[in-house]
Structure 1
Amino acid sequence: MPIYAFECAQCGHSFDRLQKISDPDPTVCPSCGAEAVGRQLTAPSFRLAGGGWYETDFKKDGDKKRNLAEGSTAKPEAAPAPAAKPADAKPAT
C-alpha cells in the first residue's frame, strides 16, 4: 500500500497516511478538526542502484547480458561534414 502525504489548508499541519488506492482521502484535519485537508504532491522515495539496466535482465541465463548504460555494440554512423560558409559571411560577434 502506498503512503500519501496530506496537509491542512487551515492550520498547515502535515501528516502521512498508509492507505489503499481505493480508500477515500481524509477530509478532517487531526490537529485542528477543520475540513480543509488536501493531498500533497511528493517525490518517490526509492533509489536505483547498481551498474545499470541490462537488455536481457529477464531472459534465460544462457543469453549474454549487455549493459545498456555503457552503450550498444553497434557502430555509430559517421556525422555529416559541416556546411561550408559563404565567402561574404561576417563573423559572429
Structure 2
Amino acid sequence: MPTYSYACTVCGHAFDIQQSFSDASLTVCPECDGRLRKVFSSVGVVFKGSGFYRNDARAGSGKSSSIPAASSSDSSTSTAPASTPAAPAPAAAPASSAPAAAAKPAAG
C-alpha cells in the first residue's frame, strides 16, 4: 500500500498514512479538525540506462557508441612486433571552399 503525506492548513500538523488506491483522501485534521491537504514529494523511481528517452532509439545519429573511434596515437603505443608495419592512413583530398566549376575560366 502506498504512503501519503498530509499537512493541515490551519495548525500545520503534518503526518504520513498508508492508504489503498481506492481509499478516499483525508480531509479533516486529527489534531484541530482543520482542513488537510496532500503533500507531494519527489518521485521515488529513477530510470537509468539507455532506452528510456525518445532520442535513444533514433536511427542515423551518425555515431555508434558501441565502437570506439581509433586515433593515430593508438598505432604508436601498439605492442605489436616491430617487423609488422602499421597500415598507412588513406590520404584525404584537399577540401575546396569554392566549387570546381567556378574555379575554371569561361571558354569563349
User: Which TM-score band applies after superposition, normalised by the shorter structure?
Assistant: 0.3 to 0.5
- Which structure is larger by alpha-carbon Rg, 1 or 2? 2
Normalising by structure 2, we get a TM-score of: 0.42
